[in-house]
Structure formats: structure tokens, C-alpha cells
Amino acid sequence: MLVKILVASLAVIIFLFWFLNLKNVLKMNNLRSQQNPEAAKWGELKQEIGDSLDEVTQKLNDQEQQAQLEEDVNGILNGVMAEAGKIASSSSATSSEANFNASSTATTSSSSSPSATIPEDASKNENNNCPSYIDCMPTIGEAKPCQVPAGCEGITQIAY
């Protein structure tokens, strides 16, 4: 019975000394980590990684905004080009009608020269195959040909 009491009291004394020394051990570990240059490097590295992640997040947000702006601009440009195509087709139809009316009046007024009306009809047939504009906007992917077809120099416009 005496041995059990002695062993129990010795265990309590060891536990008491360990508990009282625990705060000194924590202080020493804290001092060692402050004096250790590797710990300082880890702190700096942690700070740099955090800054880099913030910067990357900001750039991604900027790129998303830029992509949205680009989509908006492309939509607006497509709308403008469609309207320009409508206006160009309506004006070319009006000019074709004017050419047809002029050629019919020319044939009725000068029936002695039928050869004068043939070049106008030939030029009208060539112009019907001419596009009103050629889209030369830079895009991602394959490059678009930006050449005006032969015989369409005065009709086809290049849109940038």
C-alpha cells in the first residue's frame, strides 16, 4: 500500500513540474521561431503568394469585363453592318432602277443607236454579283480576304 501511494505521489509531482514548465517551453519555441530565418522566409513566401493570388483574381475579373465589352461591341458592329447592308441594298436597288429608267429612255429617244444600251446592260449584269461591302474586321482565327472583286471597285466598300 505504501508503494502505491509513493508511486502515485511521484506521478503527481512529475505531472505538476511538467505543467509548470509548459509555459517556458512555449516561450522558448516562440523565440526559436523568431530567430530562425527559415520561419521568416516562410512568412514572406506566404505573403507573396497571397499578393499574387489577389493580383491574379483582379486580372481575371478585368479579362471577364473586357470579354463582355468585346461581345457588346461585336453585337453593336454586327447591327450597324446589317443596317448598312440594308441601306446599301436599298440604295443600290434605287440606283439600278434609275439606270434601268435611264437606259429605257435612251433607247426610246435614240432608236438609231441600239449599241449604246448594250454596255449599260452588261455593266448592270456585272454589278449584280458585287457585294455591297466586304467585312475586313480583324478576328481571331482565319484571316478574311479583303480584296474587292474585279469590276466592283466603284460599288463594293471595305468595312474596317
Task: Name the pTM for this structure.
Answer: 0.28
Q: Report the pLDDT value the prediction gives residue 109, as an integer from 0 to 100.
A: 43
* 150: DSSP letter: T
Q: Report the pLDDT value the prediction gives residue 37, as an integer from 0 to 100.
A: 67
Q: Report the pLDDT value the prediction gives residue 91, as an integer from 0 to 100.
A: 61
Q: Which helix (H) or strand (E) holds 120?
A: helix 117-128
* pLDDT tens digits in sequence order for the chain, 160 residues long: 999 999 999 999 999 999 999 888 888 887 777 776 676 677 788 888 888 888 888 888 888 888 888 888 888 888 888 888 888 776 655 544 444 444 444 444 444 444 443 444 444 444 567 888 787 887 887 777 788 888 888 888 887 7
**3-class SS of residue 157:** strand
b/e 52-85 (16+ beta carbons within 10 angstroms → b): eeeeeeeeeeeeeeeeeeeeeeeeeeeeeeeeee
Q: Report the pLDDT value the prediction gives residue 114, as an integer from 0 to 100.
A: 41
